[in-house]
Each structure stands twice: as structure tokens, then as C-alpha cells.
Amino acid sequence: MTTMTVMPVSAPDLNAPDFERWLAGTEPEWFLEYLSPGPEARARHLMGRFAGALAWPTGRAFLCSEGDRVLGAIALERMAWDSAHFGIECGRIATCCIAQGLSVERRRALHAELLRDALRWADEQKIRLLQRRLLASRVDETQCLGEAGFRPADSMVTMLAPLAIVAPVCGPDPRLAFRAARADDLPALLAMTRGAFPHSRFVQDPILKVSRGDEVYQRWIENLLLNQHTDKTPAGTKEEVMVCALGGAVAGYAAYRTDRALDALLGRRLGMLDLIVVDKAHRGQGIGRALLDRVMEAMRKDGIGEVEATTWTDQREALALYRRAGLQEKETLLTYHLWMNG
């Protein structure tokens, strides 16, 4: 058996047609697999992940070969927003692509080889927290991550359904009023977002400060609300925040989006429900169910054909709500953290 060789590669190297064709036939890798994209769409998506990593000055990509055959490729990038927010250098394994048809032994050896280069990169860049999110089905890589010292940080499930079969989960409620969120709703939205996601990796990791982890989602909804319908929203992306008012007060909100570039890649319209949050004082009154129904109605009017929702596997209320509407679980995503240098 020939020796595996790992070499750093540049953006021009990755733009070669042979590499794109190779990507089209690699093992399932994290995102979009549950949507069954065609080989060309899949390759373009993965190419985007490599390009995104190499767009950063400190980003790196490595190819692992055996003779003339490419066996694997990995992309690494610094996480600028996370680094600034937590005050530590954060990085991630952006993608790790593995050739199909390898034996279990060779897959594990390949993952271990690529992971060694990822750790060397992280050490050179003085990364303090290295993150990897991957499909739960990638058992060999999960094992290698554990052997390298990575620890589970959170677990999420992605659910999907054609909008045609998504059923209303509640009837009309005359007490409730729905509208697009406004800038003056921000204080109420920030207050109800605080503590709403206890299963997130930002909160679950015992080394990160819980208060700073909790603020991640407050900053997210703040940026989303203030930037929606502005030129700061990526071209082709439509991001919406809908609020539910009860007695004139905002009692909950839902955030959802569409992406024309993704639709073009898949050849069909997809709506993505990011989250539903209900104020603690108003839980148990059907507000979450009513928000879900209204979002589904808005998506239908926009010509959406399928709806996707992602939540944490321990967020039982959200899982039950989505299941009741007819969404089915498609994939489980695991996030692992490695604290470098102690």
C-alpha cells in the first residue's frame, strides 16, 4: 500500500475541473445532503465552502493523496465573529470531504491524517477553540475527533416537509395579531431571546461564559431585525422576522428566510425556518403553534415548495411542534469543540 501524502493547496488548485468532479462523488458531508442535490449542485456547494475558507488570509486547505488518487480534502478557517465576541481565537474545520469506497481502516487513517494537519494549522494560528460540525452518520470521523481530544458541544436535528402536506397545528385565535417586526420591537425581542436556547453549544460548553454564549442569539436577532430589507442582506436572500402580539404586547416571534442562489442550485424553492421564540410569560397559550401556521402561510404565498426547520435534539417542545405540523427528521448534526493548549 502506498503512503498517504498531505499537501497544502491554493484556490487556483481547487478550481481545477478534476477537483470539482471528485467532490461530486465524495461521501455525505454535513449540509444539503438531506435535500438530495444532484452531483453538479453538490460539487458547487462544496466548492463554495473551500472558497469561503481560502478567502480569509489565514484560511487553509489540504489534499490527501495516495499516488495519483485524491482520497480526502479539508478546509480550515478562522471564525472572525466568534473570535471578536468571545475574546479568544476561534476556528473551525469548515468541511472535510472523503472519497467513497474506502475501507473502514483507510477512512479512519485518512481522517486521522487530515486532522493532524488541522491541529497543526490551529496551533500555528494560535486558535484557542477549534470547532467541527458534522453528520452523526460519520462515525469514523467522530471517533477520530474523540481520540484527538474533541468533546461533544451540541446536537441538532434538521426536519423537512413539502409545504403541500404541512398541516395547520391550531385554529384562528382572535386574540392574536401578526405583523412584520419593527425596529422598536427590538427590546422585547432581546428580552425573550435571553435564555431561550439552553442547548446551544455556546451555552453548553463549560469553558465559555454562559452570559456571552447567550448573547450570541441576541446579537443575531438584533442584526437580523436591523438589516432585513436593507443592502446589508446578501443578494438573493430574503430574511423575515414575524411577531405575534397579544393585547398589544409582543408575545413571540419567528425568523425565516429564503435564498434564491440556493433555490437555483437545487432547482426548487426552499423556505428555512430558523427559530420560533415565545416570551416566558406567554408560553402555553398556543403562540408558538400560531406563529408556525402564519409562517407556513407566508411561505405558500411566496411560492415556496418545501420547508426546512432545524432545532436542538433536546428542544423537545420545538421538535413536537414541527412533528405535529408534518415535518420529518432528515439528519442529525453534531458539533464538537477542542480547546487548544490546555
pLDDT at 232: 52
136 contacts 334 by C-beta, under 8 angstroms = yes
pLDDT at 39: 86
265 contacts 37 by C-beta, under 8 angstroms = yes
Half-sphere exposure of residue 195: CA atoms within 13 angstroms, side-chain side: 4
Of 30 and 115, the structure prediction assigns the larger pLDDT to 115
pLDDT at 13: 81
Phi and psi dihedrals of 185, rounded to 5? -85, -10
Half-sphere exposure of residue 89: CA atoms within 13 angstroms, side-chain side: 13
pLDDT band at 34 (very low <50, low <70, confident <90, very high): confident
pLDDT band at 302 (very low <50, low <70, confident <90, very high): very high
Mean pLDDT of the chain, nearest integer: 91
Short-list 51, 125, 61, CA closest to 96: 61
For strand 151-162 and strand 306-312, is the pairing parallel, antiparallel, or unpaired?
antiparallel
pLDDT band at 228 (very low <50, low <70, confident <90, very high): low
329 contacts 158 by C-beta, under 8 angstroms = yes
Structure-block grid coordinates of residue 306: 418545501
CA 124 to chain centre: 26
Q: Would you say residue 109 has pLDDT above 90?
A: yes
pLDDT at 30: 64
pLDDT digits (tens, 9 = 90+) for 53-99: 999 999 999 999 998 899 999 999 999 999 999 999 999 999 999 99
Record the pTM.
0.92
Grid coordinates 469514523 are at which residue? 140
pLDDT at 266: 85
Structure-block grid coordinates of residue 106: 483507510
Bridge partners, residue 63, by sequence: 7, 73
Grid coordinates 480550515 are at which residue? 76
Largest Cα separation within the chain, whole Å, is: 72
Give, as one character, the DSSP assignment of residue 99: B
Task: Say how many C-beta atoms besides its own lie within 10 A of residue 116's C-beta.
Answer: 14
Q: Three-state SS for 162? A: strand
